[in-house]
């Protein structure tokens, strides 16, 4: 099964953009890329997902490399409330009931 690799932690200043990278070099052609985040002492919450094209929503943007071996979650203006663990997850085509979370990137936002 394809896995994802993310940095353990990143730091950002408040109101600056944040680029959270994810490598998934063994992704297959029909696997979706999902991002979730987990605020302290809470359950994960959905952020964004995509297949091939870049995606935007009110929370973030997702930039997917042309070869799909990596992706980047972009928070356009980080706030203190964005401090969380961000998980990059592949949704496998052959068994999409199974979500593999990995250990994620802990984002610290400095005021």
Residues forming the site for other proteins (CB under 8 A): 30-32, 36, 41-46, 49, 51, 87, 91, 93, 96-104
Question: Measured from the CB atom, is 43 or 111 closer to other proteins?
Answer: 43
Question: Measured from the CB atom, is 2 or 99 closer to other proteins?
Answer: 99
Question: Measured from the CB atom, is 85 or 109 closer to other proteins?
Answer: 85
Question: Measured from the CB atom, is 81 or 111 closer to other proteins?
Answer: 81
Question: Distance (Å, rounded) from C-alpha 44 to C-alpha 63?
Answer: 21
Token pair, residue 52, equals: 């091939």
**Least distance CB 68 / other proteins (angstroms):** 14
**Least distance CB 55 / other proteins (angstroms):** 11
Question: Distance (Å, rounded) from C-alpha 88 to C-alpha 95?
Answer: 17
Vertex 27: Cα angle to 105 and 82 (nearest 5):
25
**Least distance CB 8 / other proteins (angstroms):** 10
**Least distance CB 13 / other proteins (angstroms):** 25
Gap between the terminal Cα atoms of the chain: 39
Question: Distance (Å, rounded) from C-alpha 55 to C-alpha 31?
Answer: 15
Question: Distance (Å, rounded) from C-alpha 68 to C-alpha 23?
Answer: 9
């Amino acid at each position: 099964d394809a896995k994802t690799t993310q940095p353990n932690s990143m730091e950002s200043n408040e109101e600056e953009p944040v680029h959270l990278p994810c490598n998934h070099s063994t992704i297959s052609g029909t696997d979706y890329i999902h991002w979730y985040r987990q605020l302290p002492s809470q359950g994960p919450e959905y952020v964004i997902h995509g297949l091939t094209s870049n995606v935007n929503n009110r929370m973030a943007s997702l930039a997917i490399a042309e070869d799909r071996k990596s992706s980047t979650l972009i928070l356009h203006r980080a706030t203190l409330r964005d401090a969380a663990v961000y998980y990059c997850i592949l949704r496998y085509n052959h068994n999409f009931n199974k979500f593999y979370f990995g250990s994620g990137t802990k984002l610290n936002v400095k005021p």
